[in-house]
Structure 1
Amino acid sequence: MSRKRLYLRAGLYAEGRSDYDFLLPLLNRLLSSLASSLFPGACDVEDSLGIDAPYPAPSERAERIAAAIADRRAECTLFVIHADGAGDPRYARQSCLDPGIDAARRASPDVVTVPCVPVRETEAWLLVDAEVFRPWLGSDAHSALPAEPEREADPKLTLGRLLKVKEGRMRRKPERLYRLFGEEVSLEALRALPAFQLFEAELVEAIRAVARSQGWPR
């Protein structure tokens, strides 16, 4: 008899293209790491999907989130809903995410969702690992990065300043850069950020909820 296995696939609803570029590969790595720790040798993690409301999309954000989840409900076992915190992550969560999650749960009460809310912008999460910056900054990478990335007033501006080279141009297209960071940024470095700690903790609870729905012991 084959051993029971946990199946995971996340759907990601994010604010912008660069958020998808960074968060999708990061989410793949994080889910694999957490699931392997929680269910060693007994989990299958598919690549995460970027999701959006199908055309014609509702005008209200909450309804767009609910429509995006409903559209991919059969394909994904959990949904990560992202919003930048803009300096007040609690308010961003309450105003930008909770109404959409509530709308999705009215349609599917058992849907599993995880809020993802950096303090200001997702770019702060790209500023935690000096090793990823070495192709641009060499041995100065560590000293060039902010000591507390989520205290940066404009993380996107800081990231752009660090990555620019001659004539103000980046060496790679922005979408490739964000994807590169999502693939390579250290999970351990990210775990020093309180907002990421909260996201990871809620992701762990989501994985456990999916496991219960698939018949694993509570």
Structure 2
Amino acid sequence: MRSLSCVLVREGPSDDWFLPVVLQRALQDMCRERFPACGEVQEIRSLPEAGNQHPDSVVRAIEAELGTFDVALYHHDGAPPGKSDLVIKRMREAWQEAGYREPLVPVVPVRETEAWLLADPEAIRTALRVRKLPEPGFEPERVHSVLRPKEEFEAIVRQVAGRKATGEHGVRDYVIRVGTTVQIDVLRRVPAFRDWWDEMIEALERLGYQHG
């Protein structure tokens, strides 16, 4: 039985509250569905010292971790698209030039990571411990049309839990709760999450995970 280890280069500290948790859960589902010979998905390790805007600093930080992971996950918010696409293109090129065996798989929520938080209203309701949310939810297929997903999520928390809950500590707790309960099948209906999912499958196939 093989195990899977990933490192994550993320954009901001708050992304650590959600992405490592939800991506590990997604990979567990993926391996059960597509790669049953993978018996363990290890906790995803974040590399905060890597930054994420400059390919050279990312490559240097990950180089120090070579031999300890199977796949590198590179997070960058997908807005504005012109800037984001260029950064990701440069990162891919730098990775290819470095010649690492380990794949690099981008994680690119449109606008902000919080867009994925909004995809599953049931998970938000559970995190807030309420029977009903003050506003109707967003369809996963259209969640990236929300212009300011972070503000939208905080507004929901504020309406339900009060202003004190929107301090950094309070928001962090609710983000983590959503990360542990959001349905991966719902996230797979979000186009950008599906892009990550499909590219991750390709990466694991290149590494031979389908053969055990």
TM-score interval, normalised by the smaller of the two chains: 0.7 to 0.9
Task: Tell me what 2:32 maps to.
Answer: 36
Are 2:173 and 1:193 aligned?
no
Q: Using a 3 Å threshold, how does the CA distance of structure 1 residues 119 and 41 change in structure 2: closer, same or farther?
A: same
Structure-2 residue corresponding to 1:19: 15
Aligned residues: 206
Letter of the 1:146 partner, please give it.
Answer: F
SS in 2 for 1:146: coil
1:175 paired to 2:168: no
Question: Which whole-Å CA distance do the structure 2 matches of 1:131 and 1:93 have between them?
Answer: 30
For 1:34 and 1:11, locate their aligned partners in 2 and report how far apart those are by CA, in whole Å. Answer: 17
Aligned counterparts, 1:27-176, within 5 A? 27-53=23-49, 61-88=54-81, 91-135=82-126, 136=128, 138-141=130-133, 143-147=135-139, 148-164=142-158, 165=160, 168-170=163-165, 173-176=170-173
TM score, norm. by length of structure 2: 0.85
Structure 1 residue 93: Cα displacement: 4.6
Is 1:205 aligned to 2:205, yes or no? no
For 1:60 and 1:141, the matched residues in 2 are separated by 36
TM-score, length of structure 1 as denominator length: 0.83
Q: Distance in 1 between matches of 2:129 and 2:35?
A: 39
Unaligned runs of 5+ residues in structure 1 are none
Percent identity of equivalent pairs: 25
Of the two, which has the highest radius of gyration?
Answer: 1
Change (3 A) 1:29 1:14: same
CA contact (8 A) 1:84 1:120 kept: yes
**CA RMSD after TM alignment:** 2.6
